[in-house]
Amino acid sequence: MPSYTLGKAPRGRFRWVLLVLPLVLVGLVVWGSLRRGPAPGIVIESARPAVGTATKIVARFSEPVGGLGRISLELSQGERTVRLAEQRFERAGAFSPTRGRFTANAELAATVGRSAQDWLKEGEVVLRATAERMAGPLRSRAPVVVEKRMTVRLRPPHLELLSKQHYVRQGGSGVAVLRIGESAVRSGVRAGAVESLSFVLPGGAPGERFVLFAIPWELSDGDQVRLFAEDDAGNRVEMPFVNLFKPSPPRTDRLELSESFLAKVVPAIASQTPGFDASGSLLDQYLRINGDVRRATLATIAELSADTQPTFLWRNAFAQMPNTQRRAGFAENRTYLYQGKVVDHQTHLGLDLASTEHAPVPAANAGRVVFAGWLAIYGNAVIIDHGYGLMSLYGHMASLSVKAGDVVSKGQQIGNSGSTGLAGGDHLHLEIFVQGKSVDPLEWLDEHWIRDNIATKVKVP
Ligand SMILES: [Zn+2]
């Protein structure tokens, strides 16, 4: 006869399981609702170190274990407190498709400053970010609070012009000497959208600085050339200082692109440009080189401009390569034609100097090599830093005889001329940069211009 145990109490070793199991389940539920993990993380970030007209604030919250409940961001000054932003999160219900989900990370953003809170006074403010965990039946809701103290500054820094007689040309360079207040963190010259930053004036009193500035070749409005100073709250003062602005509109030139020229320059540049899109016709590729690659190269040069020494490495006028004829000049708007049709427009921003093939190329002035190598449209190129943001570039060379880091004297050979990069024939492309912006090299080749415009304002050793 079979024996049935159904309906009878479990025997022996299985009995304890049924007794303990409910206790374990209750324990898990209690642990689950009490478990908190680490306290919610809060970071308050500000776009500027201080508060002025408008400083963007972002508070980032995280609670990866139980989820965020309520988060808020407040601003206090003195007795006054305002809520800048707040958000509440609900846990999705048991029957929701997203059941059990919670919010682990969130952020609150706000603008702090006189534009948003016109009652703010100079002094200190407190930013207070609060995070509560997701509420549970047994869970503590003790919030976590993080504060950030910031200084409020409402007046722009002091700015005073010390130099006189500023005669500048469109596409040219200049120097201004200024005195700034202690709160200034940035100062210099703004010319249109281009800013040239100041340096400590050698031998000057505290707060005295000077700026070697660029006037962009594309800027024809002299009113757009201003001295400026800014503090860490973004308060900014600008003042006009130019006595005479000489417009110098770009000249124009037309260039016929021949099949043989494209066949010479395109494959050489395409093969040495990582990631270059070599699809389409030679003309398609040429247009990408003349456009995208040119822009990327100028961006590289602008980055290199940070690698400048705060000292005068140059002396006297820059020297033109000997026995050369000036061909193309600075700021020539070139119209490119292919089979009689206009296919492109670009601006030539250097001085083309032609001599004999593979002629020795001397450094135009003393300095330190910051780049020597392949530089896309410039072919084999050398860039020399002359200090205080002034740099010279030598392009299209056949060979280079210096490397980055070398200190060179005026006239020292840095390579031989050639026709590498976007060059039709053997010549040197000489380009001068002030803080990464191309300026007219002719001024720097002219000792009278240097004496009247630079040496009368700052003492170049
Ligand atoms: Zn050129």
Least confident of 84-93, 205-214, 410-419: 84-93
Which CATH number describes the domain made up of 41-152? 2.60.40.10
Q: How remote is the CA of residue 274 from the centroid of ligand 1, in Å?
A: 23
Q: Of 7-11, 152-156, 371-375, 457-461, which gets the smallest average pLDDT?
A: 7-11
CA distance 3 to 12: 17
- Give exposure, 412-443, as e/b (b: 16+ Cβ within 10 Å): bebbbbbbbbbbeebbbbbbbbbbbbbbbbbb
Ligand 1 centroid distance, CA of 377 (Å) = 10
- Domain 251-441+450-455 is classified in which CATH homologous superfamily? Glucose Permease (Domain IIA) (2.70.70.10)
Q: How far is the centre of ligand 1, averaged over its atoms, from the C-alpha of 432 (Å)?
A: 12
CA of 120 to the centre of ligand 1 (A): 55
Q: How far is the CA of 352 from the centre of ligand 1 (A)?
A: 5
Residues 357-401 pLDDT 10s: 999 999 999 999 999 999 999 999 999 999 999 999 999 999 999
- Give the Å distance between the CA of 216 and the centre of ligand 1: 18
The pLDDT score that the predictor gives to residue 111 is 97
SS3 348: strand
Query: What helix, strand, coil percent values describe the chain, rounded to 5?
Result: 15, 40, 45
Integer Cα distance of 143 and 155 in angstroms: 37
Q: State pLDDT tens for residues 218-275.
A: 999 999 999 999 999 999 999 999 999 999 999 999 999 999 999 999 999 999 998 9
242/229 Cα distance (integer angstroms): 16
CA of 305 to the centre of ligand 1 (A): 20
- Cβ-count burial 341-353 (b if 16+ within 10 Å, e if not): eeebebbbbbbbb
CATH match of 159-246 with 2.40.50: no
Ligand 1 centre from 332 Cα, in Å? 10
Mean pLDDT in the chain?
Answer: 91
CATH 2.60.40.10 location in the chain? 41-152
Q: Calculate how far, in angstroms, residue 346's C-alpha sits from the geometric centre of ligand 1.
A: 12
Q: Report the separation in Å between the CA atom of 253 and the middle of ligand 1, taken as the mean of its atom positions.
A: 13
Is the pTM higher than 0.75? yes
**Per-residue model confidence as pLDDT tens digits over 325-339:** 998 899 999 999 999
88, containing H or E segment: strand 80-88
Report how far ligand 1's centroid is from the alpha carbon of 424 (Å): 10
Tell me the CA–centroid distance for residue 330 and ligand 1, in Å.
8
